[in-house]
Amino acid sequence: MNRIVCNTIDFVFTDEIVSMDTTGVPVLKPDKGWKRINIIEQPIYQSSIKQNDAGPTNEETVSAKGRKNNITELLIQYCGFHTVLRMSTDEEVFYVGNLEYPCTMEYTGDKIFDNYSFKAIAPA
């Protein structure tokens, strides 16, 4: 299992993406942009290869805790929509999910804090 502590987490809905370039970076529609989740603790990225009857899959998860704000409301309103995440560490920027295998989100929260859990599963 791979575990990385990240500095930031941004997202874009898959319907805001035109295509993925050859390096796996999303190309956004001209009027769209990345939206930052206002985190209060560093997000945790984890990935692991799982063996299934249909073949191995790469399962990626991201967990984050943030303060309630307008991004929270946007994510909750469009909770059924798929996303692609842009994660950054001190050394790199990488993406979780893509057009073919996007992230899904689970959310819990109260009046002050939000807990996000994103998951993407793709063939390994």
Query: By three-state DSSP, how is residue 75 classified?
Result: helix
- Residue ranges of the domains in the chain? 2-123
Decide: 35 and 11 in contact? Cβ < 8 Å.
yes
What letter represents residue 17's amino acid?
I
Tokens of 42: 């560093």
What would the mean pLDDT of 27-41 be, rounded to a whole number? Answer: 92
pLDDT of residue 84: 94
pLDDT of residue 122: 94
Residue 108 has pLDDT above 90, yes or no: no
- pTM equals 0.86
Report phi then psi at 49, rounded to 5.
-95, 125
Which residues are CB-neighbours of 118 under 8 A, at least 6 positions away? 11, 61, 62, 63, 83, 85, 96, 97, 103, 104, 105, 106
What would the mean pLDDT of 38-42 be, rounded to a whole number? Answer: 88
Give the integer Cα–Cα distance in Å for 80 and 94. 23
Sign of CA dihedral 99, 100, 103, 105: positive
